[in-house]
Structure 1
Amino acid sequence: MNKSRPVTTRKTILRTMAVAGIMVLAGGLRFWNLENQSVWLDELASVANLDAPAYCGNLYGMQINCPTHTMGPLYYCLQYHAARLFSLDVYGLRVLNVALGLLCVLAVFEAGRWLCGWSCGLLAALCVTLSPQHIWFSQEPRPYILLTLLAVLSAYFLMRAV
């Protein structure tokens, strides 16, 4: 009589393990070789003023050093505080983007799961996990991965609202 409950529990455990496995793979691919990549010129725009004593000084310095800079301040706010939490070395500067990339993998999984079911969510998360462009954006201290995450979350919440 109670035989369906263990099957459901086992299925839930397997699904959770699959998501955890994809997240471990995503983390491994994004953390692999993270500190060995040099900082490029466009990445220096992101890190040029992180040593400012206050966040407002960071934004002011960006406007002075790069007056044509048109990206919004959210990423730079997150990066400023992440640099305080971790460090100003190459690894510390890129940890925020790796975390945002992992959140993006989870957001794609949840959007796919909500839209088409567990298998679709797992497949979508695996595709994002293995995407070379997504891995690159997750390792580069630029706001592109935050834009990707916010776009996925916007689409997900729009689907939920409609």
Structure 2
Amino acid sequence: MNVTRRQNLALLALIVIFLVAFAVRIYALDAQSMWIDEGVTHDLAMRTMDDSARRVASAVHVPLYFWTMHLWIGVAGDSVFTMRFVSVAFSLLTVALAYALGRKLFGITAGLAAAAFIALNTFSIYYAQEMRMYAMLSAVAGGALWFYIRFIQHLRWRDGVILAILNTMGTLTHYTFAFFMVAQGVMAVLWMAFIGYRALRARSGLDIAAGWRALWPTLWRYTAVNLLWLLLYTPWILGGGPSRIGIHPNISPAVPLEQLLREIQGWLAFGRTYEQNMGGMGIAVYLLLIFGLLIQPKARRDAWTWWKMLLPVAWVLVMLAVYLYLELYLRYMRFLLPAQLAFALWMGRGVWVLWHLQTRHQESWTRYLPKAAAAMAVVGLLFNMSNGLDPLYNDPQHQRDNYKA
């Protein structure tokens, strides 16, 4: 298959994925009444930006989402449909970013798979239909990751400035964006360790000065980017917003670690309806995650290849570690929505590795087995994910409180 035809097929597949993602998010968007937290959003969005900022600071929130809603209702009105549509738009942006990130990091196959996994995941769909900030949080994280990769790779100031701005937007959307910034820091340190070690070993013996010279450009530029973020975020800090974080109680009841990890895994892979639509496809998730940790036999095994492979893995694991450390349990699962993007990229890489895996005998029919396995895994997972749509829309356990009654 020539390159042009392959690109056209990929574009067609992406359009189909995007249309499906739009359809399942727009369906019955205003069927449920505005519930209490959405009522708070409506109230704050109707106020002036200055007034809403003062009020959210006292309620352990940050103002950017409410400012966005304030501007939106000035254009589109304040109906339930139009206000929830903002979350639909941000969720669709996350689908597009999943494709772009998967393609940039690994390849077209990974991007398409990651986008499809988000498109039908009921965790993503649920918060795409809610008048709250979580869909925006995930989209901003995806955009920040794009410029973070570009900055780490090329060390261009333009990318660094945009990264600092997006990190500021993220931390002004929800405080838990800091989880993602911790993951950024972990991967930046890992990259500096890679390049420093490479320079150390480049000559006979250990040349510490060479290692330091190699990592210094990344170290000081990344430090400068984070200082710029801190500068941009300082007005909110001086306003006293973050000072109230410790006052807000954690009211999530404790659950056993095994149960919590099972819930998180189910939500990230299939969505909040995972108990009803996972079926026997959990093994396919593990298969793709394992393949997502492999380097293809004939691929380059340089530091950049390893770093890209570890990026979505670290994002998931760091966010999960912080979440567990804070003992947020089941009540605050929505804080992990950005990690669902990383989980989809991890699974998407598994699809990509499996799809391009070469068998020992390339002239035999067995060369098609890896592609067949990858296709079966993706189709099976998407089919089971689609089975979660009906319970998401109609099962009372997935419905918000009805304030119309």
Separation in structure 2 between the aligned mates of residue 37 and residue 115 of structure 1, nearest angstrom: 39
1:32 counterpart residue number? 27
Q: 1:87 aligns with which of 50, 73, 77?
A: 77
Correspondence list, 1:1-162, <5 A: 7-52=2-47, 57-61=48-52, 63-64=54-55, 68-162=58-152
Q: CA deviation at 1:125?
A: 0.5
Number of residues paired by the alignment?
152
Q: Is the 8 A contact 2:17 2:116 kept in 1?
A: yes
Q: CA deviation at 1:59?
A: 4.2
Q: Is the 8 A contact 2:45 2:52 kept in 1?
A: no
Q: C-alpha root-mean-square deviation of aligned residues, in Å?
A: 1.8
Query: What one-letter code is carried by the residue in structure 2 that aligns with 1:14?
Result: L
Q: CA deviation at 1:49?
A: 3.6
Return closer, same or farther for 1:107/1:60 CA change in 2, 3 Å cut-off: same
Q: Secondary structure at the match of 1:50?
A: helix
Return closer, same or farther for 1:105/1:42 CA change in 2, 3 Å cut-off: same
Return closer, same or farther for 1:61/1:110 CA change in 2, 3 Å cut-off: closer
Q: Secondary structure at the match of 1:33?
A: coil
Separation in structure 2 between the aligned mates of residue 49 and residue 159 of structure 1, nearest angstrom: 35
Separation in structure 2 between the aligned mates of residue 72 and residue 150 of structure 1, nearest angstrom: 14
Q: Is the 8 A contact 1:105 1:129 kept in 2?
A: yes
Q: Deviating runs (4+, > 4 A) in structure 1?
A: none
Identity %: 27
Separation in structure 1 between the aligned mates of residue 103 and residue 118 of structure 2, nearest angstrom: 14
Q: Secondary structure at the match of 1:30?
A: helix
Separation in structure 2 between the aligned mates of residue 51 and residue 161 of structure 1, nearest angstrom: 38
Q: TM-score, normalised to structure 2's length?
A: 0.36
Greater relative CO (CA pairs within 8 A, separation 6+): 1
Greater radius of gyration (CA): 2
- Give the gaps of 5 or more residues in structure 2: 153-405
1:8-47 per-position Cα deviation (integer Å, ceiling 9, x unaligned): 2222211111111110000001001101021111111111
Q: Structure 1 residues 76-85 or 20-29, which shifts more?
A: 76-85
Separation in structure 2 between the aligned mates of residue 122 and residue 75 of structure 1, nearest angstrom: 29
Separation in structure 2 between the aligned mates of residue 149 and residue 69 of structure 1, nearest angstrom: 23
Q: Is the 8 A contact 1:22 1:126 kept in 2?
A: yes
Query: What one-letter code is carried by the residue in structure 1 that aligns with 2:33?
Result: S
Separation in structure 2 between the aligned mates of residue 104 and residue 144 of structure 1, nearest angstrom: 11
Q: CA deviation at 1:87?
A: 1.8
